[in-house]
Amino acid sequence: MGNRIEFPLNGKIYFKKGVEAFELGKKEKAIKYLKKAFDCTGNNEVNLYYAFVLSVYQRYEEALAVMNEKKEFYRSSENHASFYVEILIKNNLFLEAEYIIQKYQLNSAAEDDQAWKRLEQELDNIRLQYNLELESNKKELKQSLIELANYSPFVQSQKIAEAELLDLSELQELASTILMNHQLDGKARRAYLELLVQRKDKNEYSFLWFDEIRTVCPRELEEFGDIETVKNIQSLLERKLAKYPELYYWVEAEIVHDLLLLYPYIDEVITSIDFWIDLYIMELDLFHHLDIKLVAKTEEEKNMREKANYFHQLSQRGKFSLDR
């Protein structure tokens, strides 16, 4: 039958249903019909009402996304720009809101200027409150990062993810402590290092990598997902296990877990991605779909097998046996 084509007439029907649902307090139905109405018509007024309804239900992020589809409609009309500014403020987009306020203050009549001044005051108040809360959250987060070893590995990972909130200078203050803390989960240290890599930090740090102390300069390193070996492993694994999706997802999860532990020195350990993948398939293929048998012939392959066996033992996964 193909995709159905919605005609403008349907848009009018959807809009009418959306308005009725909103007036009856049926939130989800109202939003559903108004979305359909806008998708059908692309009409400015429908967009305005749709965004208004979303804002009433305090779904400000969605409201802004809807309004941004008609951004020029809002920014070019003083009548609608004030509503757009209100939604920008609700999304903490203070600079853009400030720009629009100042633009219209310069060109507004005295009575309209008062309305823009009220918006400006609201902006200042909310921005001040936001900044105070942000600083409080940062202070609390930095303290939790100092005490990171007191948390479980799962919580450690959560705290490191939250550290994206911090500026580079704040991350640098804590870097030496975290990157050398042997009490932390290995993935937590590596995740923190990747935050510094993302910020292109040019400082050098001592970094605890298993039982070795390395010197790292984050700016000279790649992010985990950009490393060619990681991409090639993913691609080859998909081809090898295309017929065995359940085994694929299991092997993929374990390989990614261990690659994160090897970061940022993945290429030092993995000199043959084919051999590395087969080590995991051999370990995790409990039903012998592929019945892989490997013999480590070179010193590099022996090192890879030793490292993979270490990870298998650490995770107590598959059918691990030290003497296999």
Name every residue whose Cβ is closer than 8 Å to that of residue 234 and which is 6 or more positions away in sequence: 252
What percent of the chain clears pLDDT 70, i.e. is strictly above it? 93
Q: Which residues contact 84 (CB under 8 A, 6 or more apart)?
A: 67, 74, 75, 100
- By the 8 A CB rule, do 218 and 185 touch? no
- Residue 133 in this model has a pLDDT that exceeds 50: yes
Q: With cut-offs at 50, 70 and 90, classify the pLDDT of residue 112.
A: low
Run of H or E residues at 103: helix 94-107
Contact present, 289 and 260 (Cβ < 8 Å)? no
DSSP 4: P
Residue 2 has pLDDT above 50, yes or no: no
Q: What is the mean pLDDT of residues 180-208?
A: 95
Q: Give the pLDDT of residue 324.
A: 30
Hey, what amino acid is at 97? A
State mean pLDDT over 90-119.
84
